[in-house]
Amino acid sequence: MIDPILPGATIGVLGSGQLGRMFALEARRMGYRVHTYSPDTDTPTGQVADREVVAAYEDLEAVREFARHVSVVTFEFENVPAQTAQAVAEIVPVRPGGEVLHIAQNRLREKLFLSRLGIPCAPFRHVTSLAELESALSELGTPAILKTAGFGYDGKGQIRIHSSEDAVTAWETLGGEECVLEGFVSFEREVSVVAARGVQGEFAHYGLIENRHVSGILDLSVTPPLNVFGGEPIEAEAVKITRAIFEALHIVGTLCVEFFLTTGGKLLVNEIAPRPHNSGHLTLDAHLTSQFEQQLRAVCGLPLGSTERLRPAAMANLLGDLWEPKTPNWAAALALPNLKLNLYGKEEARTGRKMGHLTALADTSEEALRLVQAGREALTDPV
């Protein structure tokens, strides 16, 4: 039996973006203190944390000093160097563990891990040269997606190849790095499962969430999904796969598994995100226990909370594009009923940068989706 880390203790967070911010707000609501560590200052997490430590992830002495002042450490994005997590683990528990980081921050390792488990994913080939890319294209055909093996997110580090003639340009565009070539998947929609696992192996999930992307960035999420092909059996299979991944990695914390649902009704795992996920932001308002509170409960060894859905919900990301050429019309959006606004405290709005999100609650998923889209459109109304 592992003793729980109780309210009043201090939780360390590696990373300092919006995921850490929402986690810190939930932790402070439950009586915990929060310290955040990243190379940046005045960050979304740092603005609401008790302490913001600014140092490089590679500064392992600073990392160890950070760890000495907390009871447990979690992370809010997966691109933390493995040696950073190892340095923390010398002093306090890291949840989820460094092995999860090692796998999730590299697409090749992730796909090999899934293949060893027998979990279906898109066909892929390891590519380290132009010659290997051309050979892989001859095997997988076109169109195909070339992705850098490491450190890609929100559509970054990837390019679509429409024909074999595009190989040279694609290879040079990604800088000749180690890559993974993925065969094209004809999918009906994208879905995800956000779930949590506790220190004793207990498991809780939020069901299937439908996601829509624009330019590789999540645009809209809705729960429950709209008329998913296969219905409850598809959801049950997605949850089963998610739990298998949790068990294989001995996850303690919150994790998201992203899926393609093919036109033939088959689930293929696209990515693993070993942390709270953008598609789970709607759980802050739509579920009894949010994904961030669940992360806190899990890493502190507390019982997991109920994931009961209170109402159908939809979420719309707010990107920096909405700030051009002027500040969004917040009053116009918030005049709509059942709409919630969450901004991340980022001072500079840039094209494609996630600045916040809207969540709408309604009696049906269709109405929630309509409402959240209307709310985002209202942000561009004249003031």
pLDDT tens-digit map of 303-321: 999 999 999 999 999 999 9
The reply to whether 49 and 32 lie within a common domain is yes
For residue 176, what is the domain's CATH number? 3.30.1490.20
289 located within any domain? yes
pLDDT value for 235: 94
Same domain, 174 and 191: no
114 in a structural domain: no
Amino acid (1-letter code) at residue 79: N
List, in order, residues 6 or more apart from 224 with CB less than 8 Å away.
Answer: 207, 208, 309, 312, 365
Residue 325 contacts residue 382 (beta carbons within 8 Å): no
Same-domain pairing of 46 and 159: no
Q: What is the pLDDT, as a whole number, of residue 185?
A: 87
Domain count, the chain: 3
Domain that holds residue 162: 123-183
Contacts of 25 (CB under 8 A, 6+ apart): 48, 292
Verify that 163 and 30 share a domain, yes or no: no
Among 75, 94, 113, identify where a domain stops.
Answer: 94
DSSP character string of 15-42: --SHHHHHHHHHHHHTT-EEEEEES-SS
Domain contains 282: yes
Phi and psi torsions of 349, nearest 5°: -90, 125
pLDDT score recorded for residue 309:
97
Check which CATH number belongs to the domain holding 69 and give it: 3.40.50.20
| Predicted pLDDT at 371 | 98
Say whether both 222 and 282 belong to one domain: yes
What pLDDT score was predicted for residue 151?
64
Instruction: Quick: pLDDT tens for 323-358.
Output: 998 899 999 999 998 999 999 999 999 999 999 999
Low-confidence residues in the chain, pLDDT < 70? 1, 151-155, 228-230
Residue 3 belongs to a domain = no
Which of 139, 168, 183 is the endpoint of a domain?
A: 183
Predicted pLDDT at 241? 98
Whether residue 177 is found in the same domain as residue 192: no
> Which helix (H) or strand (E) segment is 84 a member of?
helix 82-89
Q: What's the predicted TM-score (pTM) here?
A: 0.94
Is 156 found in the same domain as 78?
Answer: no
Residues 211 and 287 in one domain: yes
**Number of Cβ atoms within 10 Å of the Cβ of 343:** 15
Do residues 323 and 196 both lie within one domain?
yes
- pLDDT tens-digit profile of 147-201? 998 766 655 788 999 998 989 999 999 888 899 999 988 888 999 999 999 999 9
Whether residue 310 sits in one domain with residue 263: yes
- Examine residue 99 and state whether it is found in any structural domain, yes or no: no
